[in-house]
């Protein structure tokens, strides 16, 4: 990776800033104290930046799911225009910052990315809303990984989001340095096992695309690969798919193991398959042998180290 910091957008209240409608905050200690060590946060509070002040009257989404309005609950003041103007300007600024991800506050009529309360004209709510700022961000940056802080409490979702952030950053670096056919083949190769842990089908599709690289215009081709790459990584990785990957990797050095070592490693993989241990257990042993036997092709695989080990994300999946 380049030396440019890993930069992520974030709903400002999650950093502990007192910007919420009630003058409070929603500090998330995993984001501030742990993930924050690896990230340069770009805090955004759409409501404060739109000039609505703190504290302010609570708001909610009202009306058409595709085109809702942001209205205060008691006085019925419509702040949609103010939010939309801020959103247009802020998104133009964010385009300059090469964000690699965004963490949004769940449930907010400005920041929530799904299941936000949306009220019809009779005041009856459903959960079909998307926050006004979040919706515009996702439309403008469809490849950038986004997640809500509430969902990041779930270990699998947390691991997947952070993995996608680091992968997207590598993709951004590649795009900035120029997507030659050679560079793309190398990029595709080092992500092989990570992609297989998510979607063997998408890995095949991407492989065919790489094989056709010379038939397409470089810019369109890079865009297509990036789109499919990020889509593949968003597919849930399962225990079964991880076991397949571990067994594939084992195939590179299994002939060099003694009977006892082989039985032990297969036992460890089986324990993970039975969900008796987390992924980090078989993976640590696999990495040990990959280093001992100096299996160059596997040593370069992102799958072995997709994010900093200090985050301990694979201790819980
Ligand atoms: S959820 Fe969004 S709009 Fe609301 S306080 Fe947090 S950053 Fe501001």
Q: List per-residue pLDDT tens for the chain, 317 residues long.
A: 556 789 999 999 999 999 999 999 999 999 999 999 999 999 999 999 999 999 999 999 999 999 999 999 999 999 999 999 999 999 999 999 999 999 999 999 999 999 999 999 899 999 999 999 999 999 999 999 999 999 999 999 999 999 999 999 999 999 999 888 899 999 999 999 999 999 999 999 999 999 887 787 878 888 999 999 999 999 999 999 999 999 999 999 999 999 999 999 999 999 999 999 999 999 999 999 999 999 999 999 999 999 999 999 999 99
Question: Closest ligand 1 atom, CA of 46?
Answer: 3
* Cα 62 off chain centre by: 29
Taking the centre of ligand 1 as the mean of its atom positions, its distance from the CA of residue 17, in whole angstroms, is: 10
pTM: 0.96
Q: Which residues contact 240 (CB under 8 A, 6 or more apart)?
A: 273
Distance CA 117, CA 256 (A): 58
Other C-beta atoms closer than 10 Å to the C-beta of 64 total 10
Other C-beta atoms closer than 10 Å to the C-beta of 44 total 24
Q: Please give the biggest Cα pair distance in the chain.
A: 76
CB 246 within 8 A of CB 286: yes
The residue among 242, 251, 252, 245 whose CA lies nearest residue 273 is 242
Instruction: Say whether the peptide bond before residue 286 is cis (omega within 30 degrees of 0).
Output: no
Taking the centre of ligand 1 as the mean of its atom positions, its distance from the CA of residue 70, in whole angstroms, is: 13
Taking the centre of ligand 1 as the mean of its atom positions, its distance from the CA of residue 142, in whole angstroms, is: 21
Q: Which residue is closest in CA terms to ligand 1's atom 4?
A: 20
> What is the full DSSP assignment across 48-99?
HHTT--SS---EEEES-TTS-EEEETTT--B-HHHHHHHHHHHHHHHGGGT-
Spell out which residues line ligand 1, taking CB within 6 angstroms.
11-13, 19-20, 45-48, 105, 108, 110-111
Q: Which residue is closest in CA terms to ligand 1's atom 5?
A: 20
Residue spans of the domains in the chain: they are 7-153, 165-317
Taking the centre of ligand 1 as the mean of its atom positions, its distance from the CA of residue 108, in whole angstroms, is: 7
Question: Closest ligand 1 atom, CA of 14?
Answer: 6
> What is the full DSSP assignment across 199-262?
-HHHHHHHHHHHHTGGGS-HHHHHHHHHHHHHHHHHSPP-HHHHHHHHHHHHTTTGGGS-HHHH
Distance CA 108, CA 191 (A): 35
Q: Which residue is closest in CA terms to ligand 1's atom 6?
A: 13
Taking the centre of ligand 1 as the mean of its atom positions, its distance from the CA of residue 127, in whole angstroms, is: 18
Please report, for residues 26, 31, 60, 131, 185, the alpha-carbon distance to residue 116 in angstroms, rounded to integers and kept in the order given: 17, 22, 9, 7, 41
Taking the centre of ligand 1 as the mean of its atom positions, its distance from the CA of residue 12, in whole angstroms, is: 6
Residue whose CB lies within 8 A of the most ligand 1 atoms, among 8, 10, 12, for a mutation test: 12
CB 208 within 8 A of CB 200: no
Given phi > 0 = left and psi -120 to 50 = alpha, else beta, which region is 77?
beta
């Amino acid at each position: 990776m380049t030396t440019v910091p890993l930069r992520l957008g974030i709903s400002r209240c999650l950093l502990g800033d007192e910007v919420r409608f009630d003058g409070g905050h929603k500090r998330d200690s995993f984001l501030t104290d742990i993930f924050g060590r690896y990230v340069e946060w770009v805090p955004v509070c759409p409501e404060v930046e739109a000039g609505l002040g703190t504290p302010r009257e609570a708001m909610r989404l009202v009306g058409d799911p595709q085109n809702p309005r942001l209205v205060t609950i008691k006085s019925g003041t419509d702040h949609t225009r103010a939010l939309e103007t801020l959103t247009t300007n802020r998104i133009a600024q964010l385009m300059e910052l090469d964000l690699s991800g965004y963490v949004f506050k769940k449930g907010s009529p400005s920041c929530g990315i799904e299941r936000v309360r949306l009220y019809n004209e009779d005041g009856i709510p459903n959960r079909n809303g998307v926050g006004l700022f979040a919706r515009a961000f996702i439309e403008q940056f469809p490849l950038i990984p986004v997640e809500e802080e509430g969902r990041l409490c779930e270990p699998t979702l947390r691991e997947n989001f952070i993995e996608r952030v680091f992968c997207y950053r590598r993709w951004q670096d590649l795009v900035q340095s120029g997507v030659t056919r050679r560079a793309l083949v190398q990029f595709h190769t080092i992500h092989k096992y990570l992609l297989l842990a998510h979607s063997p089908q998408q890995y095949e599709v991407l492989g065919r695309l790489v094989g056709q690289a010379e038939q397409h215009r470089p810019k369109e081709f890079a865009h297509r690969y990036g789109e499919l790459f990020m889509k593949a990584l968003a597919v849930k990785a399962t225990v079964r798919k991880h076991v397949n990957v571990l067994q594939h990797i084992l195939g590179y050095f299994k002939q060099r193991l003694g009977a006892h070592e082989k039985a032990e490693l297969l036992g460890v993989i089986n324990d993970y398959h039975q969900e008796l241990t987390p992924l980090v257990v078989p993976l640590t042993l696999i990495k040990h042998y990959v280093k001992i036997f100096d299996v160059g092709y596997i040593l370069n695989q992102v799958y072995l180290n997709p994010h900093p080990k200090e985050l301990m994300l694979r201790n819980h999946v």
